[in-house]
Amino acid sequence: MATEAPTSPPEPPEPPEPPGAPGSAAEPRHGLRLLVAWVVASVIGCLLVYLVWGPHLPPGDMSSSAANQQFDLRVLGTIATPVFLGVLIYMGYALTFWRAEDDDETDGPPIHGNAKIQLTWIAATTAIVLALAAFGTVELVTVQGAGAGEGPQPIWKPGSSSILQVQVIGQQWSWTYRYPQFGGFETAQLELPLNEPVQFNVTSLDVIHGFWAYQLGVKADANPGVNNVAYTTPKHPGSFVVRCDELCGLWHGAMFDYGKVVTAAAFQTWAQQTETQLASVTKILPPYALTYDPTAIANLGKVLVQLGIGGAGGGYYPPNDPEQP
Amino acid sequence: MSLPARVTTLLIAFAAVVAFVVFVAAHFVLSSPPLENYTPYASGGQVNVVMQTDPQNTVTNKPDWVSYFIQNPQNKQWVHTTYFAVPAATKVNMTIYGYDGCSALRNPVWGQVTGTIGGVEYVDGKPTSDLNSWSGCNVQHTFTMAGLGINVPIASPTTLNENNNLCGTSPCTSGPHQVVTFSFMTPAKGGTFRWQCIVPCGGGYVDGNGGPMSTPGYMSGQMEVQA
């Protein structure tokens, strides 16, 4: 007996694949296109960033630390360029070639894990981060702290036996500079010799300030009671700006001045002349020290109080002051 | 609440917030001490500016704040301000009546006179180039204008008796004081130059730099150079 085979509804015919759709015979090789575009753009971009833009990156190359920082920015900028271009190219390509039709309301294809891509991503980003950590450490060591404040006991010091000592003293709202190797004179002018290592001993007489010699690439906090050491070696003559980079009160924005890098001979002449000119003032300064104890002022106030001098202007915080700190 | 009522309430609340912000900006942020304009009173390339320092300030609600006053060039009345205007490329002859008592400079380097013509100030007519506030009672405030490199320590009455009998009502017209005079040149181009006392003299505030030190009109101000 012949049996009748069960019938099933006929399968609907497969819709024709649009040209260029994923999986279609006419599918272009998107990955190859993207790779080629990314490689070409990255090569051009990296060369432009390193060779054309790089020499103009801040803070310039006026000192060893500034040049080092500029080199770091060039390297980091060059490394970042392929990443930046990769994102832009992929986004632009997707917007151009994978744009949905206006009446296309279908879901996208489900995405499954891809161990190969994930491992590649993890390995690549780990390598980049570790390489940058190593690079940053090397860059700190090779120029003795890269111009940053290293605290009172710096780890990285210049090898030279001849280092110019310059004490930077912050006070609301001015900078003064003391040169202990020239009799300890103190002046509002900052002059430095060309091609000689400089040790900045940065401190404050009142609140926290920040010594930022921009073009020199030197930046160190000025804390009361602390000697914060930073090194650099000026490499080009010229002027540079010094700013306070810690908000320090009413006139913080006006707490800036200008320094100069001059030839070694010109510096010697200036320093010796200034030492002579300021001899009478230097005599009334406290002995040179790496920090100055603010309580010395209170002791001075006590002297005045012992003399019986009081009132609003009669010393620092006399006992009858209505607004004791 | 009906929709119109809710909208009206919202608009009123919004207007109140805007009005409060404008009030704060106008009265606390944008306000500044009055400007004493000496420019019309310059002659022969010179102008005379007169100030005084007081140990207190009885003309404001901060009576224990030390303060500068500037003399109005027209009526010679003392004005509670630290803002003044002078012409460019002009010799400014400053006279400061120092009625306050002595305070030590935190950094004695500011006892040096800089930026004045001849590098000196005259204390009661006697020229001097520096005052050592750590050795005795002789400095009360400073007139320090970093932009022009000017620093002048203002001499104080020196004796115990004088310092315990300072002028008690502002602006001072009598009492122990020193007269400090000095001159400097204004730059050829116009601009605004900040000045301050650097003693610091804001007793009772953080490191002495709060209160009158941090409030324009008391121990800091501006010099407007008019080209």
Domain presence at residue A1: no
Domain presence at residue A192: yes
Distance (Å) from the alpha carbon of A250 to chain B's nearest alpha carbon: 5
Alpha-carbon distance of B45 to B47, in angstroms, equals 7
Phi, psi for A271 (deg, rounded to 5): -65, -40
Domain presence at residue A19: no
Residues A66 and A175 in one domain: no
Under 8 Å between Cβ of A261 and A198? no
Q: What's the confidence (pLDDT) of residue A317?
A: 43
Alpha-carbon distance of A288 to A297, in angstroms, equals 16
Residues A173 and A277 in one domain: yes
Residues A271 and A215 in one domain: yes
Contact A174 B55 (CB under 8 A): no
- On whether any CB of chain A is under 8 Å from the CB of B55, the answer is yes
Under 8 Å between Cβ of B44 and B92? no
Q: What's the confidence (pLDDT) of residue B159?
A: 82
Residues A192 and A139 in one domain: no
Alpha-carbon distance of A176 to A278, in angstroms, equals 13
Residues A139 and A190 in one domain: no
Domain presence at residue A258: yes
Burial code (b: 16+ CB inside 10 Å, e: under 16) for B120-133 equals bbbbeeeeeebbbb
Largest Cα span, chain B: 81
Domain presence at residue A17: no
Alpha-carbon distance of B131 to B129, in angstroms, equals 7
Alpha-carbon distance of B196 to A324, in angstroms, equals 23
Neighbours of A154 (CB within 10 A): 18
Q: Is the pLDDT of residue A168 over 70?
A: yes
Reported confidence tier of residue A273, pLDDT bands at 50, 70, 90: very high
Residues A139 and A199 in one domain: no
Q: What's the confidence (pLDDT) of residue A13?
A: 53
Residue in B129, B164, B196 nearest the CB of A251: B196
pLDDT (tens digit per residue) in A71-106: 999 999 999 999 999 999 999 999 999 888 888 888
Burial code (b: 16+ CB inside 10 Å, e: under 16) for A264-300 equals eeebeebbeebbeebeebbebbeebeebbebeebeeb
- In 3D space, the residue among A134, A126, A122, A35 whose CA is nearest the CA of residue A75 turns out to be A134
Residues A139 and A202 in one domain: no
Question: Is the preceding peptide bond at A322 cis, omega within 30 degrees of 0?
Answer: no
Contact A323 B163 (CB under 8 A): no
Total number of domains in chain A: 2
How many CB pairs lie under 8 A apart between chains A and B?
A: 144
Under 8 Å between Cβ of B33 and B220? no
Residues A215 and A276 in one domain: yes
The three-class DSSP label of residue B41 is helix
- On whether any CB of chain B is under 8 Å from the CB of A314, the answer is yes
Domain presence at residue A61: yes
Residues A173 and A244 in one domain: yes
Q: Is the ipTM of this complex over 0.85?
A: no
Domain presence at residue A275: yes
Distance (Å) from the alpha carbon of B12 to chain A's nearest alpha carbon: 36
Ordered DSSP codes for B109-145: GGGB-BSSGGG-EEETTEEESB--TTTSS-EEEEEEE
What are the chain A neighbours of B196 within 8 Å (beta carbons)? 173, 251
Residues A207 and A261 in one domain: yes
- In 3D space, the residue among A164, A177, A172 whose CA is nearest the CA of residue A252 turns out to be A172
Phi, psi for B197 (deg, rounded to 5): -90, 140
Q: Show the domain range for A181.
A: 164-282
What are the chain A neighbours of B100 within 8 Å (beta carbons)? 312-313
Q: Is the pLDDT of residue A134 over 50?
A: yes
What are the chain A neighbours of B166 within 8 Å (beta carbons)? 311-313
For residue B76, how far is the Cα from the chain centroid? Answer: 17
Reported confidence tier of residue A303, pLDDT bands at 50, 70, 90: low
Domain presence at residue A113: no
Q: Which residues, in sequence order, are CB contacts of B45 under 8 Å at separation 6+?
A: B89, B90, B91
Provide the edge-to-edge strand list for the sheet that holds B35-37. B35-37, B83-87, B220-226, B191-196, B139-145, B150-155
pTM: 0.81
Residues A78 and A182 in one domain: no
Residues A81 and A187 in one domain: no
Per-residue pLDDT 10s for chain B (227 aa) are 788 999 999 999 999 999 999 888 877 777 789 999 999 999 999 999 999 999 888 888 888 899 999 999 999 999 999 999 999 999 999 999 999 988 878 888 999 999 999 999 999 999 999 988 877 788 889 999 999 999 999 999 888 888 888 888 999 999 999 999 999 999 999 999 999 998 878 777 767 788 898 889 999 999 999 99
Q: What's the confidence (pLDDT) of residue A28?
A: 85
- In 3D space, the residue among B177, B179, B155 whose CA is nearest the CA of residue B165 turns out to be B177
Q: What is the CATH number of the domain that holds A242?
A: 2.60.40.420
Distance (Å) from the alpha carbon of A235 to chain B's nearest alpha carbon: 28
